[in-house]
Amino acid sequence: MKTYHLKAVEYGGKTFANCSLSLDADARKAEIKRSVGLLKREAVLVADLTWGLGTPVQVDGSAVRSGGVTLVADDKTAAEEISMTLQSPAPARTLVTDKLAAIREPVYGFLRKRAEGIEFLVKLKTDPRQALVDVSPSYAGLYENPALEYLMKFSTSLAEAHAKMTYAAAEVQETVGTPAIERIFAFVCAAGVFQDGLVTGTGFTEEVSAFLMQLGVGGEDIAETDVKKSTEAMLRRSDPLFSAVPAS
Amino acid sequence: MPRCANGHFQSLGLKCNTCGMQLSYREATSQLLDLPSVQPEFGRTASLYVGVPPAFREGGYSIALSSGDGHLQSKGEYVLERIQGGTWYDFYSKSSEEFARWLNIVAFGESTLKFLFADAADPLSVLAVSALPQLSQTVMVAMTADGASTPVEQNASYVAVSAALRRGFQVLALPRYLAKQILASEDADEPPSPAGSFSRVVGGLLGLRGELMDLLERDRHIGVGFHLLLPILSGSLQVYGKAANVFSVQSYQLPKGVEPGEVKTFHTLVSCEKELRREFEEGFAQFRNRTVKAALSAECRVKERADGGSFDLFTVVGLDENSILRECEDGYTAVAKRTPALRVESLA
């Protein structure tokens, strides 16, 4: 929030002298007030305006014109600063970036958690007895064997990670837009297919590669066979999905 | 799988192949809650070793039970805290459940063929028998105590074999005196010991495990669950003259008091060069018709191998279970009288 002194404001066919302008760049809102009373200590709201992203803004000396409003700043420098704030898409972009960042960790959290289960299954396939021994410290005897008990507990924690991811997506969807969320979920599914391939032995398939290319995150082969490392390699590619794009 | 607004499912893609609509992945992420199914392969053979070194060479899964300075549990080893002066009962009462739980964790019972190779006189042998899952195709191959063993050894051996029979396991006994005879006829690289000989026998038997289990299971169906093992390792017909003589020599190795007429089943597994197959099959038939004709079942199975010269032969003699327990009975009773806990009845 930044406040400017205005020599005058023309709005709604009227002219108001000696006003203050408070600009909320993130919300793209402008609040114009004027001082009234004998000692000019009381502030009265003149206008509470929201600027659209594409609204044209013109600077003429110390005057800024946009829509049906003319703001007369103290000087030309202040006028240009107000103009840039109103025109710049940066505030919106920052907001989207922040929201995307908020969903990144839950998405990574889900895929990392899933990698733990996949790693266990790969081990169960290649060296089943060692896999059972590895999970035996947490075996409480609730199920007939440690593998079943581990997978039952794991499915609960995976469901929690999934819920966190979907809640986080729902919270930011209005700001970042449905297409951005869909792209992220599409990436999550591709990563899941890749993880499953480590169990079935198909690994990084052409289908996954082609789809990642479509998503614009790079379809180069991941030859790493360690599940956690290969999942991290996949996550590193996802940066473009979490970078700022204007909300559509 | 993602789907479009018209409900068409398809694999990874941005647009529906059927109607061209945008695909939605929101619901598809829920499918990632299901992990791919895996059918673990635990292998055909699992072996538990007590008092004898594992025969890793023969493949399959193996785990060794022993006692030492500290507790250790891993895929291939289970070490119990040593109990100073501990008897079989001390280990059994302290660790039976715990070890059974470990055998469950390592899915010992998931293999088709399950073997316990034990020096039955070892105080851990009873614990091992008790902890094994009660499943079919389980065999205890035991080096049993003999008349020269101490009463405490005879007691442990008697209880271990009795426990195995009570639990329905097949028992294949190699008396200690026979293990010593093998010792006399081999060129061991290591210092000679009955346990070393037994270990060599184990290696040879594992090489024929499928055939062995088949014969033992067949005998089980006719009510024969106890067998004496008469092995010859690296034998040569230059020594025996002909195959029939091999079986004649083995007939003298039966425990004291057991007559050939008491033999219930009589089988031989031979691993030898192709040219000796007929010799062994004919020799076996001659011996059977002459000496153990009353046996309910008799079979000779030959497994041909490339290397010539010597042969390995394992004769498996189905007997009444008392025949081997008799040898240890005096020692068992002497100890059990003084210490009631060391009776078979102490087992759960």
Last residue of a domain, one of A88, A116, A142: A88
State the average pLDDT over residues B274-295.
Answer: 91
Same-domain check for residues A150 and A218: yes
State the average pLDDT over residues A6-12.
Answer: 88
pLDDT digits (tens, 9 = 90+) for B172-208: 999 998 888 876 555 556 666 777 788 888 888 888 9
- What is the model's pLDDT at position B184? 52
C-alpha distances (whole Å) from A2 to each of A35, A40, B7 are 18, 21, 49
Q: Mean pLDDT for chain B?
A: 89
- What is the model's pLDDT at position A248? 34
State the average pLDDT over residues B245-252.
Answer: 87
For residue A248, being part of any structural domain is answered with no
Q: Is the predicted pLDDT of residue B130 greater than 60, yes or no?
A: yes
State the average pLDDT over residues B20-46.
Answer: 91
Last residue of a domain, one of A44, A63, A88: A88
Calculate ∠ Cα A170-A175-A181, nearest 5°: 50
Interface of A with B (CB under 8 A): 110, 114, 117-118, 121, 124-125, 128-133, 136, 139, 141, 145-147, 151, 155, 158-159, 162, 165-166, 169, 181-182, 185-186, 188-190, 192-193, 196, 199-200, 207-208, 210-211, 214-215
Distance CA A107, CA A116 (A): 15
Q: Please tell me the least confidently modeled range out of A50-59, A171-180, B290-299, B319-328.
A: A50-59
Number of compact structural domains in chain A? 2
State the average pLDDT over residues A175-188.
Answer: 90
State the average pLDDT over residues B26-50.
Answer: 93
Same-domain check for residues A76 and A107: no
Same-domain check for residues A54 and A128: no
Suggest the residue from A124, A189, A217, A248 to mutate for an interface test with chain B (most B CBs closer than 10 A).
A189
Residues 6+ away with beta carbon under 8 Å from B333:
none
pLDDT digits (tens, 9 = 90+) for B65-110: 999 999 999 999 999 999 998 999 999 999 999 999 999 999 999 9
Distance CA B336, CA B338 (A): 5
Size of interface A-B (CB pairs under 8 A): 97
CB < 8 Å to B40, chain A: 124-125, 128, 131, 147
Instruction: Dump the DSSP string for B220-272.
Output: HHTT--EEEEEEEEEE-HHHHSSHHHHHHHHHTTSPTT--GGG--EEEEEEEE
pLDDT digits (tens, 9 = 90+) for B110-129: 999 999 999 999 999 999 99
For residue A43, being part of any structural domain is answered with yes
Inform me whether the C-beta atom of residue B117 falls under 8 Å from chain A C-beta atoms. Answer: no
- Residue ranges and CATH numbers for the domains of chain B are 3-33 (no CATH), 43-207+322-348 (3.40.50), 226-320 (3.30.1330.190)
State the average pLDDT over residues A140-153.
Answer: 91
- What is the model's pLDDT at position A247? 34
Q: Which domain does A6 fall in, by range?
A: 2-88
Contact call for residues B1 and B26 (beta carbons, < 8 A): no
- What is the model's pLDDT at position B333? 95
Last residue of a domain, one of A88, A118, A149: A88
Chain A nearest CA to B133, separation (Å): 13
Same-domain check for residues A122 and A187: yes
- What is the model's pLDDT at position A246? 39
Q: Find the distance separating the first CA and the last CA of chain B, reported in whole Å.
A: 54
Q: Is the predicted pLDDT of residue A52 greater than 70, yes or no?
A: no
Q: Which member of B26, B33, B101 has the closest CB to residue A185?
A: B26
Contact call for residues B145 and B331 (beta carbons, < 8 A): yes
Distance CA B89, CA A202 (A): 52
State the average pLDDT over residues A33-43.
Answer: 77
Listed residue (B157, B198, B168, B45) closest to B111, CA to CA = B45
For residue A247, being part of any structural domain is answered with no
Same-domain check for residues A98 and A83: no
**CATH number for the domain including A14?**
2.30.29
Distance CA B48, CA B61 (A): 9
Residues 32-61 of B with CB under 8 A from A: 32-33, 35-36, 38, 40-42, 61
Same-domain check for residues A75 and A99: no
For residue A104, being part of any structural domain is answered with yes
Same-domain check for residues A95 and A202: yes
Same-domain check for residues A41 and A79: yes
Distance CA B287, CA B314 (A): 15
Which chain B residue has the Cα nearest residue A147? B105
Q: Mean pLDDT for chain A?
A: 86
Same-domain check for residues A110 and A174: yes
> Which residue did the predictor score with more confidence, B259 or A246?
B259
Same-domain check for residues A60 and A152: no
Q: Is the predicted pLDDT of residue B280 greater than 90, yes or no?
A: yes
Size of chain B in residues = 348
- What is the model's pLDDT at position A244? 58
For residue A205, being part of any structural domain is answered with yes
